[in-house]
Copies of this chain bind each other. A is one copy, B any other.
Amino acid sequence: MNAGRTARERARAELTREITEVARRQLGTEGAGGLNLRAIARELGMVSSAIYRYFPSRDDLLTALIIDAYNAVGEAVERADAAREPDDHAGRWRAVCHAVRDWALAHPHEYALIYGSPVPGYHAPADTVAPAMRDTVVYGRILASAHAAGALTPPDGFPAPPASFSGDAEAVRQVMPGLPDDLVARAIAAWTGLFGFVSFELFGQFANVVDDRAALFAHTVDTLGRLVGLPAAATG
């Protein structure tokens, strides 16, 4: 997309990219909130006010980083999913979950930026919602395809969702078409459970409690997958 246009525009695009790059590195060492326009400018050998030619405010820079982060985790998830055989639904689920955790462990501050507490005073603009959905879409696709293939055999003995849930279930079915209400509810529980685990691990809630987090995570993923009806013991 960078091909044509004037020299000025190419320089602008290049500098914009450099700014976000330095900002992302600064985010990696300092965390959000420690994001420092003047330090970015210093590292780029320019003056702080020049940054404002490219980002009208600190929040706009943050928004760019948030979108990047959503896209990064979304891409990681998509790649992990694509690497599996399409009808290996349990394998895809497992791969996707581990992709989320691996990405989070590799980019803790970016994970915190999108799945941690919202930055004070910052309110996400509409541009973020599409990238924010990428991983969820993949997740829904896996379950929908598993359900369509008749590969979901959810364990019973679990309560049914209340009738009032059917409206929300219908909305969620946009990303996982065909699933009945009770499986939609379980899918949400599994999805939030996944991120709950990763957040606990990343934010230090497991300190001095769980040591072999990788093993427990793998087992938790299997348990949550089983909850939505994926087959229990596959090869991996």
Contact = CB atoms under 8 A, between A and B. Distances in A.
A216 B192 CA distance: 12
Q: Report the 6 A-B pairs with minimum CB-CB distance, sorted nearest first.
A: A196-B196, A116-B117, A31-B120, A112-B117, A193-B193, A192-B196
6 contacts: A30-B121, A112-B116, A115-B203, A162-B218, A165-B216, A188-B216
B212 A168 contact: yes
A86 interface: no
Interface in A96-128: 112-113, 115-121, 124
Contacts of A222: 159
State the number of copies, please: 2
Contact of A195 (B171, B189, B200): B200
Given A168-B211, A211-B171, A120 B32 contact: yes
B30 A219 contact: no
Interface stretch (A9-17, A49-57, A71-79, A226-234): A226-234
Contact of A220 (B189, B212, B233): B189
A112 B118 contact: yes
Interface string A181-210: 000011011001111110110011100111
A180 interface: no
Interface of A: 30-34, 112-113, 115-121, 124, 129, 132, 155-159, 161-162, 164-165, 167-168, 171-172, 185-186, 188-189, 192-197, 199-200, 203-205, 208-212, 215-216, 218-220, 222-224, 226-227, 232-233
Interface of A is mostly: helix
A30 to B, nearest CB: 6
A192 B224 CA distance: 12
Contacts of A204: 118, 124
